[in-house]
Chains A and B, each alone.
Chain A
């Protein structure tokens, strides 16, 4: 299993031209709500935090941890990994030009969490995600993602639930206009 995961990671790594000039890294902060699995996740308020990594001009990898704040402060965590593609043009121009400022993201991925009947932390959900609106870009250094809806298929209960991220902010520490002077 570990060998397979490693192989897939390597394939993804080689498939994308990481050093072709589009590489960028952003720190993500925002909100998350897990709807439809109240019996497995009692959270009422979650902080979303993580990394948004640009792989090409249209593909990105988003790694997001959702941390429960209420009812229990730092109560539990889940980690989602999404491979996402922009639908309205380049997410980054790889140069000083700002490029497309408004975009849409569509992605697939998986979530590691303890939201299973046994409560053990494992690969628990498969994800399909749509972010209807993003404003900003890596080049401008900041991006807002609004109204993200993710359908999550629980591998253990065979139920489809919803993850809803009202608002997220990406602050780019690599790959902004400052890096293309």
Chain B
């Protein structure tokens, strides 16, 4: 089993050379409503790390780790969530109606991501889902706007929180 895992990791790392720049960091502006405790509703800055080993035109996967720092309704600073998960770009195309948004031709690549999310304020584990319907990408950048996200309490079987990443820039440096 360990050998299999080692081989898979090696294959993963070696194949990552196929992609130009595969490691990036992101900064975003988020707001989150916590349904079970509205006092914990917050907004602030989201930080993320992205690893995308490939550049497939369809179903391109990425690993995304993220955290945020924000203030809640009482003005208190806190970390509303930590998360790690898998992102999937549905497709990548330069034929789309959003080229007017950028100075150069830019690719459109909507994404969905699923993550394990932890709320350190409440010590709660959650299932996270984020949709990026307006994600534009260049070789070194992802730009996404108005991306809704949800966290789901699997144990209770109910929606725990929802929010938006109003704008997020991700820069691939390596």
Show the binding face of A for B, using Cβ within 8 Å: 29, 31, 33, 38, 42, 44-45, 47, 69-72, 140-142, 166-167, 169, 171
Q: Is the CB of A70 within 8 A of B100?
A: no
A169 vs chain B, min Cβ distance (A): 8
A45 to B, closest residue via Cβ = B31
Q: Are A69 and B166 in contact (CB under 8 A)?
A: yes
Residue of B nearest to A32 (CB): B166
Do most interface residues of chain B lie in helix, strand or loop, or is the interface mixed?
A: strand
- A69: nearest chain-B partner, CB-CB: B164
Q: Which residues of B contact A (CB under 8 A)?
A: 29-33, 38, 41-43, 73, 75, 100-103, 145-146, 163-164, 166-167
Chain A residues near B103 (CB-CB < 8 A): 140, 142
Set of chain A residues within 8 Å of B33, measured between Cβ atoms: 44, 70-72
Query: For A44, what are the chain B residues with a Cβ–Cβ distance below 8 Å?
Result: 31-33, 41-43, 73
Residues of A within 8 A of B30 (CB): 45
Q: What residues on A are CB-neighbors of B101 within 8 Å?
A: 142, 169, 171
New contact pairs (19) apart from A47-B166, A70-B43, A71-B41, CB-CB < 8 Å: A31-B29, A38-B73, A44-B31, A44-B33, A44-B41, A44-B42, A44-B73, A45-B29, A45-B30, A45-B31, A45-B43, A47-B146, A70-B31, A70-B32, A70-B33, A71-B38, A71-B73, A140-B103, A142-B101
